[in-house]
């Protein structure tokens, strides 16, 4: 199945946060200082970050993803008043330099060895992506960093996917898009992209009418 997925593929685009980078790594680095609310704080931070992006896209009022990340953390801290607010800046610093999942460098190298171009396509603004990619040492393995910042909206707006495909320089039907976010896969499928859902957490499927071409437990599945 995976070989068929890559057949006719000139370019693989990857969502960044949750797909290449572990979005919970920032809180995990400070879990001892945060205390027992660490896991819930991390979930709230992530969920609000995404919620804010959807509201901004729907209302046509774009703000940088970094600004939304800060606002989401402020909400998460306010919801957990026992957590020391002085952790705000250390948490934001940690988010700038998130850990990449272990298989990521090898998968990127493997794809390029097959003559397939690779790129990031993310809600993250350009400065966020450049910092994250550099800190994780992924720069040499990527051909493009594509931010929705250029389209001034967020996924799942069709304009975001259209802008990314145009800048990737490949025909839509020859692009494979990979994301760990099922809502992102739904948006990309609605736009007409072939998609692989990287279901790291073994979540139940949804959006049955906007199905991915493949469901993989990790990015390793692309080269299996």
- CB atoms < 10 A from the CB of 47, how many? 13
Total count of residues recorded for the chain: 224
Catalytic entry in 15, 37, 99, 184: 15
Tokens 């790291």 locate to 200
Ramachandran angles phi, psi of 38, nearest 5° = -55, -50
Task: Decide if 99 is catalytic.
Answer: no
Residue 126, token pair as written in the block: 């350009």
Structure tokens belonging to residue 120: 């990031």
* Radius of gyration in angstroms for the set of CA atoms belonging to the chain, rounded to a whole number: 17
Query: Which residues carry out catalysis?
Result: 15
């Amino acid at each position: 199945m995976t070989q068929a997925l890559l057949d006719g593929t000139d370019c693989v685009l990857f969502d960044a946060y949750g797909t290449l980078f572990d979005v919970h790594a920032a809180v995990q680095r400070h879990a001892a200082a945060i205390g027992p609310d660490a896991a819930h704080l991390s979930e709230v931070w992530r969920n609000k970050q995404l919620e804010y992006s959807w509201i901004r896209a729907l209302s046509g009022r774009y703000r940088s993803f970094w600004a939304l990340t800060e606002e989401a953390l402020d909400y998460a801290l306010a919801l957990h008043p026992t957590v020391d607010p002085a952790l705000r800046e250390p948490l934001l610093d940690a988010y700038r330099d998130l850990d990449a999942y272990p298989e990521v460098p090898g998968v990127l190298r493997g794809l390029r060895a097959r003559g397939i171009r690779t790129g990031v396509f993310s809600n993250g603004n350009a400065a966020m992506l450049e910092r994250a990619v550099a800190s994780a040492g992924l720069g040499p393995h990527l051909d493009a960093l594509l931010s929705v910042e250029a389209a001034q909206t967020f996924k799942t707006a069709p304009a975001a996917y259209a802008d990314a495909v145009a800048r990737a320089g490949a025909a839509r039907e020859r692009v494979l898009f990979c994301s760990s976010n099922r809502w992102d896969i739904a948006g990309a499928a609605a736009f007409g992209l072939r998609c692989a859902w990287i279901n790291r957490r073994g979540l139940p499927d949804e959006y049955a009418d906007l199905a991915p071409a493949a469901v993989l437990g990790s990015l390793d599945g692309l080269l299996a």
